[in-house]
Amino acid sequence: MDLRRPGAYLLAIVALAFGFVVAVQWRSQLIAPGNRIEQNQALLQSVLGLERQNQQDRSQVASLRVQIGNLEADASTRSDQTNQLAATVNGLRAEAGATTLRGPGLTVTLDDGKKGPDLQGATAWVVTYQDVQDVVNLLFQGGAEGVAVNSRRITPLSGFQGTGGTVVIDQGPPLLAPFRISAVGDRDAMQSLLSQTSSLGDLRLRQRLYGVSLNVDLSTQITLPATDSSLEVRFAHSP
Amino acid sequence: MPTAPEHRIRNLAVVGLLSGIIAFVAVVQLRSQAEVQASLAGQDNTALAFLIDDLHRAHDTLEGQAASLAHQAQSLKAGGNNAAMVALSAQQQQLQIVDGLVAVSGPGVVLNVTAPLTAVDLQDALNNLRLANAEAIMVDQRRVVAESVIEDSNGQVLVDGAVVGDPWTFTVIGDPTQLGTAAGLMARSLDSDPRVKSVSFRSNPNLTIGAVIRAHPFVYGRS
A211 and A106, same structural domain? yes
Q: Are residues B91 and B108 in the same domain?
A: no
pLDDT value, residue A171: 86
Per-residue pLDDT, A13: 65
- The residue of chain B with its CA nearest to that of A175 is B35
Contact: B146, A156; criterion CB under 8 Å: yes
Does A192 lie in the same domain as A115? yes
Same domain for A153 and A196?
yes
Q: Which domain holds residue A19?
A: 6-95
Spans of chain A, pLDDT less than 50 = 1-3, 24, 26-31
B223 domain residue, yes or no: no
As beta bridge partners, residue A201 has none
pLDDT of residue B187: 95
Cα(A143)–Cα(A186) distance, rounded to whole angstroms?
Answer: 6
- Strand order of the β-sheet with A179-184 is A152-153, A146-149, A179-184, A101-111, A213-224
Nearest to A236 among B97, B146, B221 (CB): B97
**8 Å CB contact of A92 and B95:** yes
Q: Domain range for residue B145? A: 104-209
Confirm whether B55 is domain-assigned.
no
CATH number of the domain encompassing residue A103: 3.30.70.1880
| d(C-alpha B95, C-alpha B215), whole Å | 12
* A43 in reach of chain B (CB within 8 A): yes
Whether B157 and B79 share a structural domain: no
- The size of the A-B interface in CB pairs under 8 A is 257
From chain A, the residues in CB contact with B130 under 8 A are 157-159
Residue B205 lies in a domain: yes
Q: Tell me, yes or no, whether A74 and A188 share the same domain.
A: no
| Strand pairing class (B104-114; B198-209) | antiparallel
Judgement on whether residues B75 and B144 belong to the same structural domain of the protein:
no
Is A184's CB within 8 Å of B220's CB?
yes
Do B135 and B82 have their domain in common? no
Question: Which value does ipTM take for this structure?
Answer: 0.79
- pLDDT tens, residue by residue, A168-182: 999 888 899 999 999
Which among B35, B44, B70 has CB closest to A176?
Answer: B35
In what helix (H) or strand (E) does residue B179 lie, and over which residues does it extend? helix B176-191
| Predicted pLDDT of residue A116 | 66
Do residue B61 and residue A158 have CB atoms under 8 angstroms apart?
A: no
Q: Does B104 sit within 8 Å of A237, measured CB to CB?
A: yes
The answer on B83 and B140 residing in a single domain is: no
B187 shares a domain with B116: yes
Q: Which residues pair with A213 in a beta bridge?
A: A111
Same domain, A106 and A217: yes
pLDDT tens for B114-137 read 999 999 999 999 999 999 999 999
* Residue A196 domain flag: yes
Within the 157-196 window of chain A, which residues sit less than 8 Å (CB to CB) from chain B? 157-161, 163, 166, 170-176, 184-186
The answer to whether residue B190 is domain-embedded is: yes
Q: E-assigned strands of B45-186?
A: 104-114, 134-139, 142-144, 150-153, 156-159, 162-164, 168-174
In a shared domain, residues A139 and A219: yes
Tell whether A231 is covered by a domain: no
Look at chain A and report how many structural domains it folds into.
2
B103: left (phi over 0), alpha (psi -120 to 50) or beta: beta
Q: Do B72 and B134 belong to one domain?
A: no
Q: Give the total number of structural domains in chain B.
A: 2
B139 plus B82 within the same structural domain = no
Segment B10-68, tens digit of pLDDT:
676 666 666 655 555 555 555 556 666 666 766 778 878 888 888 888 888 899 889 98
Question: In this predicted model, what pLDDT tens digit does every residue of B84-104 receive, in sequence order?
Answer: 888 899 999 999 999 999 999
Contact predicate A152/A169, CB 8 Å: yes
Last residue of a domain, one of A77, A95, A113: A95
pLDDT band at residue B205 using 50, 70 and 90 as cut-offs? very high
State whether B78 and B150 are in the same domain.
no
Residues A29 and A131 in one domain: no
**Smallest Cβ distance to A44: which of B32, B48, B107?**
B48
- Residue B148 belongs to a domain with what CATH number? 3.30.70.1880
- The average confidence (pLDDT) of chain B is 87
Cα–Cα nearest to B148, from B219, B99, B209? B99
Q: How confident is the model at residue B2 (pLDDT cuts 50, 70, 90)?
A: low
Say if residue B144 is in the same domain as residue B92.
Answer: no
Verify that B93 and B109 share a domain, yes or no: no
Residue A34 lies in a domain: yes
Q: Decide: A184 and A106 in contact? Cβ < 8 Å.
A: no
Give B138-181 pLDDT, tens digit per residue. 999 999 999 999 999 999 999 999 999 899 999 999 999 999 99
Give ∠ CA B69-B71-B72 in degrees, rounded to 5: 60
Phi-psi region of B174 (alpha: psi -120 to 50; beta: other; left: phi over 0): left
CA distance A153 to A224: 7
| Residue A239 placed within a domain | no
Q: What is the DSSP string of A55-114?
A: HHHHHHHHHHHHHHHHHHHHHTTS-HHHHHHHHHHHHHHHHTT-S-EEEEEEEEEEE---
Do residue B88 and residue B118 come from a single domain?
A: no
Q: How far apart are CA A159 and CA B61, in angstroms?
A: 14
Mutate to test the interface with A, among B71, B75, B97 (most CBs of A within 10 A): B97
> Are A89 and B148 an interchain contact pair (Cβ–Cβ within 8 Å)?
no
> Are residue A88 and residue A122 in the same domain, yes or no?
no
